Chains A and B, each alone.
Chain A
Amino acid sequence: MLGYLLKRLIQMIVVLWAVSVLVFVMMSFTGDPTYMMVPLDATEEQIEQARRLLGLHDSHLVQYWRFLSSLAQGDFGRSFVFRQPAMQLILERLPATLEIVSLAMAFALVLAIPLGVYAGANPQRAGSRAVMAGSLVGISLPGFWLGMVLIFVFAVKLQFFPSSGRGPTQEWLGLRVSFLSWEGLRHLILPALTLSVGTLAILMRIIRAEMMEVMKQDFIKFARAKGTDRRGVLFKHGLKNALIPLITVFGLMLGDLIAFATLTETIFAWPGIGKLLVDSIYRGDRPVIVVYLMFVAFMFVVVNFIVDMLYALVDPRIKIK
């Protein structure tokens, strides 16, 4: 177990290093961000001064070396724009993103599991066909379009929910969260819904496909021969087996939602990390982009690790080595 953890840790460091190199190489092609920082009427001298201040006058190799050596001291670099540690910017905005992503995933799972089980267990029924057709629509709808439609219907016309922003937040376990107040919750619902639709559709289709496969197995027929009721057959014997392949996909989708809720956060002016990424790209705020992408890579590595642990937990045949 200890050896396994060590192996995973080394793996993670390699991944993070590779990501940092990739991001730095890409950055070197995107031009000089100094011009984004200085006023339009800045003189050559002022521009040169700003460049020196930001550390952009050195070669890319030197810049990369400086980045790595400060990283070794736990310094992830400072934002050009905010003059704050880049990591702090991300961590400040992370709770907001985690909040809508959690709610979106909860929406998606609560609907995807029963719908997927139903469609997988009765593939011939009209209801299942309707569910499948609906899921195709769900996959095809672009998130930004859905977000705008939801705003138009529920915020503008019906005025059930606010159209943008995060609303009031409370302190909870040291994090700023919205879901504790009714007003905050109202702000949460539309972005979470927008974010959940595509995930819901994909999860549902996977659960259905897995259920169809599992329902053909001998142990399902044996469970029926034991006199197990339909619920027990579907949920105890069927679903748990269908969940094994789902765990991987779920992990990847979760990471994806957290990292790239960008569009949804932009449409709803939700102050999460996705919006931070977009803003940083517009402003050429390189340190933030680098740290952001490394953070995303780190998160995926962690999610993958958790997925492996869950495998071992659900499937007794798998041992962690």
Chain B
Amino acid sequence: MTLPPSRPGTARTDAPSPLLSVRGLKTHFHTFGGVVKAVDGVDFDLAPGEILGLVGESGGGKSMIGFSIMGLIDAPGRIEAGEIRFEGQDLLTLDEAGMRKVRGKRIGMIFQDPMTALNPLYTIGNQLEEMLRLHTGLPAAARRARCIEMLRDVGISQPEERLGNYPHQFSGGMRQRVVIAIAMIAGPRLLIADEPTTALDVTIQAQLLRLMKRQVEQTRASLILITHDLAAVSQMADRVVVLYCGRIVERGPTSQLIRGPAHHYTRGLLDSIPHEDRSQRRLHQIPGSVPNIRKLPPGCAFAPRCRAAQPLCREVEPVLTEFAPGQAAACHFPLEAKL
């Protein structure tokens, strides 16, 4: 079945439609040890130009949401159910050739580790230019000019000379700048950044976050920032989605959620952020660890680690309920909102 190339009006009948709308997404991994429900029924929307933070501990399935949107889930993983509607089109109905036209051109992605994301055998220029060869009809001279411009944009000095360099001649921070340049050069409407600063020095993290924010603001693109770093999210994101064991436990506007989290897990994450102004003996931590995701307990997955857990929590799974404007949490006994 082929659709006409553009059908204006079909998706945009009702008011400001979201750029991306994820509904009931389930991405499962069928391993020898059982089924890992890395993403288990996740819904969220993303408005054009919006920055959304996806937050959770390692193993919480947040990276798999990014890869699901990109259509880069490999066996034994599979998208079991759901809908990923991007610019009015359900990406899950596209075949591989269709997805290739989305990847890079309409959705860009930044990987966690800049030391391994670039191919060691090709120059920076070659890898950057590859994007323009794939997604634009620009002639060679124009491609080169655009690459130089893009490298300068992401803060790489002497871009003309740097084009001929190989990845190993760059520092980690510089490589991540190159990765950002590659992700942005074809002008995507959405940028997915998967733990973009985790592998970098603390001093460079803030620079790169600012760079990404500036890049998406300049091009009016949206950004999904996947991270375990709530501090980074609080500076960057308009809205936050908190994930635990593949499910959304809380979501809401950033400042509101940080001032008054409703879910005990969000509270725990916030308490774990070190504060410079408060003299602390020890950092807070959430007791216990992420449960075996193959054998999740019945009821609330967070209950075994939750101080407020009641017998009800261990039996009935709480549903995501909106209790303040725009803010929703999946908890039977939410914290009082401090508005």
Contacts and interface: CB of A to CB of B under 8 A. Distances in A.
Interface of A: 124, 217-219, 221-230, 232, 236-237, 240-241, 314-317
Nearest to A223: B119
Contacts of B72: 221, 224-225
Given A226-B103, A226-B130, A241-B120, 6 more contacts: A221-B72, A227-B101, A232-B130, A314-B121, A316-B120, A316-B166
Classify the secondary structure of B's interface with A.
mixed
Interface in B85-109: 96, 100-105, 108-109
B116 A218 contact: yes
Contact of B117 (A218, A227, A230, A316): A218
Interface of B: 70, 72, 75, 96, 100-105, 108-109, 111, 113, 116-123, 130-131, 134-135, 166, 168, 179, 182, 186
Contact of A217 (B109, B116, B186): B116
A317 B75 CA distance: 32
A19 to B, nearest CB: 36
A227 B105 contact: yes
Nearest to A230: B96
Contacts of B101: 227
B70 A317 contact: no
B266 to A, nearest CB: 30
A76 B103 CA distance: 65
Contact of A317 (B100, B116, B120): B120
Residue of A225, A241, A315, A317 contacting most chain B CB atoms (<10 Å): A225
Nearest to B123: A316
Contacts of A217: 116
Nearest to B192: A225
A241 B179 CA distance: 19
Contacts of B108: 225
A227 B168 CA distance: 23
Contacts of A236: 122
Given A124-B75, A316-B168, A317-B166, A229 B100 contact: yes
Nearest to B106: A227
B187 to A, nearest CB: 13
Contacts of A240: 121
Nearest to A217: B116
Given A218-B111, A316-B168, A227 B134 contact: yes
A131 B108 CA distance: 37
Given A225-B70, A226-B130, A226-B182, A316 B104 contact: no
Contacts of A221: 72, 111
A227 B104 contact: yes
B6 to A, nearest CB: 19
Contact of A227 (B75, B100, B113, B121): B100
17 contacts: A217-B116, A219-B119, A222-B111, A222-B118, A224-B103, A226-B103, A226-B104, A226-B134, A227-B100, A227-B101, A227-B135, A228-B134, A229-B100, A230-B96, A237-B119, A241-B119, A241-B120
Given A228-B130, A228-B134, A315 B120 contact: yes
A225 B166 CA distance: 20
Contacts of B123: 316
A314 B121 CA distance: 7
A219 B134 contact: no
A316 B100 CA distance: 29
Given A217-B116, A227-B103, A315 B121 contact: yes
Nearest to A218: B116
A222 B168 CA distance: 17
Contacts of A227: 100-105, 131, 134-135, 186
Nearest to A229: B100
